[in-house]
Structure 1
Amino acid sequence: MECAVREEIIPRNAAKLVKVPVPKYKVNRGLTVPQARAVLKAAREHRLYALYVLALCLGLRRGELLGLRWEDVDLDGGTLEVVQTLQRVAGRLQFVRPKTEDSARTVPLPSICVEALREHRKRQFAERSDRWQEWEEHGLVFPSRRGTPMEPDNLRRSWGAIRKTAGLGEMRFHDLRHTCVTLLLNLGVPPQVVRDIVGHSDIEVTMTIYAHASLDDKRTALRKLGDALG
């Protein structure tokens, strides 16, 4: 085609007339600040409290949380590295590399995360001591009660109970990630910084989540416009 265009056999490249649709992402903006606080309150005494703190504050994916190892966490330096993810491959749970270069990342840990992880490590040590006969050490931050990689369905059940206690209806666990994106952007954090924190491959994904405005947001915006014109 390009050769024919250059030789002027074809006057123009017809392929340029083809419009490739922009991918559509089905997203939910996630939780409001009061709802996010309700989640943390509902999870406070749960063995996976720290997991919910990281999901809300850092926007980690489910597989990234379940694949996280203590060797990837530097509590003194206040950083966390995403270097692997737990996925079901051919019917088996396996640790795999993040799917993109942007997904593999180093994230600073705010104090709320450091404190939650320190408390979690103490809790896990006690749990391991109580179950030492059946414990299988894998170095995971969020393993099962036996130290093995956690079945994603177990996390789903945990989230279902916490979601119910917090009064969140059918909100998905993945919406905690969207919550992180939206709240950070609402705080004025530059989109490219938010993208790097949550590991989006394209800033368009970051902004698509943010642009999914709620009815209340639209109502507020139009009220402001009406006030300005009135």
Structure 2
Amino acid sequence: MGRRANGEGSVFKQADGRWVAEVSYRDELGKLRRRRVYGSTQTEARRKQRVVREALQRGTPIKPSTTSVASWIETWINGSLAASDRRQSTIDLYTAVARRHLVPDLGQRRLDHLRPSDIEALVVAKRKAGLAPSTVRTIYTVLRAALDIAVRDGLMQSNPAVAVRRPSIGRREADFLTPTQARSLLDALEGERIEPVIRLLLATGLRRGEALALHWADIDLESRILRIRWTLTRTSVGLVLGEPKTDKSRRSVSLPGSAVDLLREHRSRQADERRRAGDTWVEQDFVFTTEIGTPLEPRNVLRRFGVVARRAGLPGAHLHTLRHSAASFLLAAGVHIKVVQEHLGHSSFAITADIYSHVTSEQSREAADHLDRAVDWSRREDDGDTPPPPDGGLWR
């Protein structure tokens, strides 16, 4: 009788009424092994037998893992997540989310006992706790990523998060400043060190990290163009100058005349600072710097902007409000939304249309008003003086 191939085995019923499915296989040393699975019915036993066979074919462990979710999360954070090609800021975010939300809520569970209903319960609990929809979605995304690696490593047969619909974040409409509010903000900025960078954000719609990463080599004041090549972020390893997240984010942005004047004045003041600093100046070609030439700390800019915004009577404004405001001003002036998308560096037209629907709806009403004015729509009694179109067709 020849050797059994991996995955062969029998199915039979025991005296106690349980069905047993047996799978034979050879281990790494060529030794014949047998694995038994049990079921209350023949169908259940065969299903478990099939799962074992599939695991053997994939070369993954066939015994269930007793690893806890908490233990696996730490393994994943220190291994696969750290080794991934994700940006450092994303790694920091995923690490914080996993330890703050996944370990406390799911940590004591065995990894192989995790079910889709457990993940749905987690989503519901986070929503009831009042977390923002985007945060709930991020929690789900991090869990699914961690479990994907557990499946890859053979600790789970399948990822239960795949069976759960990704939490939605609903429709987003941007907060933005009116022209009057923007003027109040500019007045409150006078004399502040962050004044040049805030003015540029409002004039161009750049992201904070894009503006703080600007080098003078990226700016052509004669052609009124700046190029987005980098983004500056604070991470667990310090300030990181990295590439923009998407191809659309790598772009050239046309500068309004006011921004050109602002940058020329700022460059002149920076030259004076460089002379005063002398040997303490750290030359790195950054546009926005401290008194010694080092890049501005993003968190400090954020904090100081909050102070200025409150002084201007705009306590709810944040740095991203400036980006939204610039886009809203462009759309209100009649700039096509596709041009605005390219200007902002959005990855898709749909994102721009969704965020700025409050402006595009106003433009839609204006378009309807233009149609009203284009034709005299009033009803008239036919006096017989209006000639019909020639040949019964349209006027040319």
**Does structure 2 retain, via aligned residues, the 8 Å contact 1:128–1:135?**
yes
Residue from 300, 304, 307 that aligns with 1:161:
307
2:316 is aligned with 1:177: no
Aligned to 2:123: none
Q: Which residue of the partner structure matches residue 101 of structure 2? A: none
Answer whether contact 2:186 2:199 (CA < 8 A) is retained: yes
Q: 1:195 to 1:127 in 2, by over 3 A?
A: same
Give the aligned CA root-mean-square deviation in angstroms. 2.5
Report the TM-score, using the length of structure 1 for normalisation: 0.79
**Is 1:84 the counterpart of 2:84 in the alignment?**
no
CA distance in 1, matches of 2:175, 2:350: 15
- Corresponding residue for 2:251? 105
Unpaired runs of at least 5, structure 2: 1-163, 370-396
2: CA distance, partners of 1:123 / 1:158: 20
In the alignment, which residue of structure 1 is the partner of 2:45?
A: none
Return the offset for 1:23.
Answer: 5.3
1:71 equivalent in alignment to 2:209: no
**Aligned counterpart in structure 1 of residue 289 of structure 2, from 130, 143, 160:** 143
Aligned counterpart for 2:270 among listed residues 121, 124, 138 = 124
- Give deviations 1:22-80, integer Å, cap 9, x for gaps: 75364532101111111122223223322122211210001001100000001111110
Q: Does 1:152 align with 2:298?
A: yes
Partners of 2:168 and 2:329 lie apart in 1 by 25
Select the structure of larger CA radius of gyration.
Answer: 2
Unaligned runs of 5+ in 1: 1-17, 225-230
- Tell me the distance in 1 between the aligned counterparts of 2:173 and 2:303: 22
1:134 paired residue among 274, 277, 280: 280
- AA aligned to 1:78 is R
Cα 1:24–1:132 shift into 2, 3 Å: farther
Q: Which amino acid aligns with 1:52?
A: I
State the Cα distance separating 1:153 from its structure 2 match: 1.6
Distance apart, 1:93 and its partner CA: 0.8
Q: Which residue of 1 aligns with 2:392?
A: none
Q: Which moved more, 1:150-159 or 1:185-194?
A: 150-159
Distance 1:209 1:94, change over 3 A: same
> Aligned residue for 1:54?
200
Cα distance between partner residues in 2 of 1:111 and 1:177: 18
Counterpart selection for 1:189 from 310, 335, 347: 335
TM-score (norm 2): 0.47
Q: Is the 8 A contact 2:226 2:253 kept in 1?
A: yes
Whether the 8 Å contact between 1:68 and 1:84 is mirrored in structure 2 is yes
CA distance in 1, matches of 2:171, 2:245: 18
Please give the alpha-carbon distance, in whole angstroms, between the structure 2 residues aligned to 1:158 and 1:166.
Answer: 13
DSSP-derived class of the 2:239 partner? strand
Is the Cα contact below 8 Å between 1:68 and 1:82 reproduced in 2? yes
Tell me which residue corresponds to 1:94.
240
Q: 1:189: how far off? A: 0.6
Q: Which residue identity lines up with residue 57 of structure 1 in the other structure?
A: A
Post-superposition offset of 1:165: 2.1
Which SS does the other structure have where 2:193 is aligned? coil
Q: CA deviation at 1:107?
A: 1.0
> How big is the shift at 1:198?
1.0
3-state SS of paired residue (1:88)? strand
CA distance, structure 2, for counterparts of residue 191 and residue 21 of structure 1 = 28
Distance change (3 Å), C-alpha of 1:19 and 1:157: closer
8 Å Cα contact 1:80-1:108 kept in structure 2: yes
Q: How many residues align?
A: 200
Instruction: For residue 131 of structure 1, give the secondary structure of its aligned residue in structure 2.
Output: helix
1:57-116 CA-to-partner distances (Å, cap 9, x unmatched) read: 210001001100000001111110000010234431111110001001001111000000
SS in 2 for 1:133: helix
Give yes or no for the alignment of 1:42 onto 2:200.
no
SS at 2:226 equivalent: strand
CA contact 2:226–2:254 (8 Å) conserved in 1: yes
Q: Secondary structure at the match of 1:125?
A: helix
